[in-house]
Amino acid sequence: MKLILLGPPGAGKGTQAETLAKRRGLVQLSTGEMLRAAVKAGTEIGRKAEAIMKSGGLVPDDVVIGIISDRIAEPDCANGFILDGFPRTLKQAAALDQLLDSKGTILDAVIELKVDDDALLARIENRARETIAAGGTPRADDNAEALKTRLMAYYKETSPLIGYYFAQGKLQTIDGMAPIAEVGRQIDALLAA
Ligand code: ADP
């Protein structure tokens, strides 16, 4: 099974992708996580991405498309995967369609998590607080200023994908304001249908 989780920053894509991947034996592919790992490791991609990510902007399409096409080619992805944070632009979506087509496969579903904008800032500030309380370092982009840029990027670049996948008959929408476990149950229910 090949799925995409779509939604604004803070919608809960990462949280849901992680538990769904475990329940279904799928691989979670988060471009945000991969880029953060590249920043931490100080690779060339990481050096290019660091300042863009910190400000809340989008990393260039060719960079993330390259990362995903390499990752999808690895054997553990043969069983299926959940994309979380990719695609984020129409160009990335078209590249993904082409990539899957070249492997003779297709996307099964695109699940949109719908969350009120007002809730997003609270969730992101809460995530930063919890990370600090646990003795960790919060994400460089989990603050009010970067969130504004991330939200703008979402509305400008990513939200057109809702129409793109609706037109493909793949879009399913879920209420991301529900408690985490309930969102998970709703995802399971729609995948079972
Ligand atoms: P969130 O969805 O919570 O904002 P992510 O962890 O998915 O966070 O992504 C963090 C940052 O990584 C983004 O703000 C962006 O700079 C970069 N990024 C991740 N995925 C992509 C992508 N597909 N295209 C461009 N930039 C990306």
Would you write out the chain's pLDDT as a tens digit for each of its 193 residues?
999 999 999 999 999 999 999 999 999 999 999 999 999 999 999 999 999 999 999 999 999 999 999 999 999 999 899 999 999 999 999 999 999 999 999 999 999 999 999 899 999 999 999 999 999 999 999 999 999 999 999 999 999 999 999 999 999 999 999 999 999 999 999 999 8
Q: Which of 4, 6, 35 to mutate to test the pocket of ligand 1 (most atoms within 8 A of CB)?
A: 35
Both structure tokens of 73: 């080619």
Distance (Å, whole) CA 103 – CA 94: 14
pLDDT (0 to 100) of residue 53 = 97
Q: Which domains are assigned to the chain?
A: 2-26+79-192 (3.40.50.300)
Nearest Cα to Cα of residue 146 among 11, 52, 61, 37: 52
Whether ligand 1 lies within 6 angstroms of the CB of 187 is answered as no
Per-residue pLDDT reduced to its tens digit, 50-72: 999 999 999 999 999 999 999 99
Both structure tokens of 147: 């969130």
Distance (Å, whole) CA 174 – CA 184: 10
Minimal-distance CA residue to ligand 1 atom 4: 9
Q: Beta-carbon neighbour count of residue 148 at 10 Å?
A: 12
For residue 142, give every residue at least 6 positions away whose Cβ sits within 8 Å of its Cβ, in sequence order, or none. 124, 125, 127, 128, 131
Beta-strand relationship, 109-114 and 171-175: parallel
Distance (Å, whole) CA 14 – CA 121: 16
Whether ligand 1 lies within 6 angstroms of the CB of 8 is answered as no
For residue 16, give every residue at least 6 positions away whose Cβ sits within 8 Å of its Cβ, in sequence order, or none. 5, 113, 180, 183, 184, 187
